[in-house]
Structure 1
């Protein structure tokens, strides 16, 4: 029996999450990834699901319910990627979620009603579990959206904050592999919000500096993360989502 995960911006205060999970429990076990995605923030939902789904067993079904009202032009769809099923609106977010084309995408027949995605999710999960997806879907092409990427030159990298976690740590789109390739072991400075806030060392853990001190490390996703030990970088340094960061490498090694 596959596991069904749910990532949404519905907030548990409302009935939506409970209604979906109740409708799914008779079909398959349900696991909440989070219902605390910021309202309508598709990129945040994509980031969270992208980091989490690989931890689940092959055959798992992942629902991304963030700004998920389907239309005829942007239908609710099922994608199959790396032995996992994904159910969400085909509006470009699949291309942000996956590193390459999924094995296939199928559009779910439109449901009617003000909360039509609820029924669409339940019907799609039921069809996957019963191996009847072909009866309620049609083949579809993946719509694409440009994923923000770090820009690298010989002596610097320009990156962007793509996620701020609940501790106020800023996760960027600068990967360890890009940092190592451009830096080639050279000394560096990481600049935040202009020339005055900077970091000159990569730490191995959060505890490698004094409380209140800035630090940079590569997290479990292999992305550069900026933080304040025992504090909130977002609050103390006024760092926000999609803010730019710059890494300047010493030209002389």
Structure 2
């Protein structure tokens, strides 16, 4: 019994996700289907990569991941490098089936992968383009589930399209990052990792500013309950990213961090470090 995961931007109010699952089960009735998320913001492959990257290692080798986010192929004969093909990548013993639209680059970065293959024959049946996740990606995943060797229905290629993720910037004693994802609780996940933080200012006093210094936090907590319910908290989450949250944020106590602070994906988060012996530290003594 093979495992197939689904990560899409299709939402839960339409028939689309059910259609995907039915299409898999019609071919491989024994398949075990796991939903990772269907509420990725439309066409935001960065969010899809974040979600999948942080749970993929919880799945066993041989798992097949279908990524139905911005999945429509785009074949550009005049500029082939701009084409977006349905693609299969084998990475850490698992298979990822999706469009080569930058997702694989965001997922894998500079890590090594075991193979990459392209589904070339996507123009022979243009009617498949109106639901590419179901009509192109699912059949490819089902062949893998059935044990068909990937090189029997795909062509091997050397690499995937590159996408450059937004990375934190170090400017003197300041570390600037941004909100990269907002979860179900309204927690603000930034692109600042614990490694980034410690590279600039391990064991150095700091203040985390957001909304142009309108709000700030000067402590990293180990868990949400280190502050009372309704209070703001900063911590490094399970994936190692700096997170700004409201402990037990609910509408009754002001909501989550996103609504309470009015922050969205892409907004700037700034950490200012004050090394001991600096002018800023000395001035605080007088």
TM-score of the two chains, using structure 1 as the length reference? 0.95
The 5 Å alignment of 1:228-247 reads 228-231=246-249, 232-247=256-271
The 5 Å alignment of 1:92-241 reads 92-99=102-109, 100-108=111-119, 109-110=121-122, 111-113=125-127, 114-129=130-145, 130-140=147-157, 141-231=159-249, 232-241=256-265
Counterpart-to-counterpart distance in 1, 2:32 and 2:248: 37
Shift of 1:181: 1.9
The answer as to whether partners of 2:178 and 2:266 remain within 8 angstroms in 1 is: yes
Shift of 1:14: 1.6
- The match for 2:58 is 55
- Between the two proteins, the alignment pairs up a number of residues equal to 253
Shift of 1:251: 2.4
Counterpart-to-counterpart distance in 2, 1:93 and 1:40: 11
What is the root-mean-square deviation of aligned Cα atoms in Å?
1.5
Counterpart-to-counterpart distance in 2, 1:201 and 1:158: 17
Q: 1:15-64 deviations in whole A, cap 9, x for unaligned?
A: 22111111112422211111111222222122111112111111101111
Shift of 1:223: 0.6
Counterpart-to-counterpart distance in 2, 1:154 and 1:172: 20
Shift of 1:214: 1.4
Counterpart-to-counterpart distance in 2, 1:239 and 1:101: 35
Counterpart-to-counterpart distance in 1, 2:275 and 2:87: 49
- Which residue, 82, 98, 101 being the options, matches 1:91? 101
Structure 1 residue ranges without an equivalent (≥5): none
Structure 2 residue ranges without an equivalent (≥5): 76-82, 250-255, 278-286
Tell which deviates more after alignment, 185-194 or 6-15: 6-15
Shift of 1:98: 1.0
Shift of 1:250: 0.8
Q: 1:173-208 deviations in whole A, cap 9, x for unaligned?
A: 111111112112101000001123110000111011
Counterpart-to-counterpart distance in 1, 2:171 and 2:49: 28
Would you identify which runs of 4 or more consecutive aligned residues in structure 1 move more than 3 Å? none
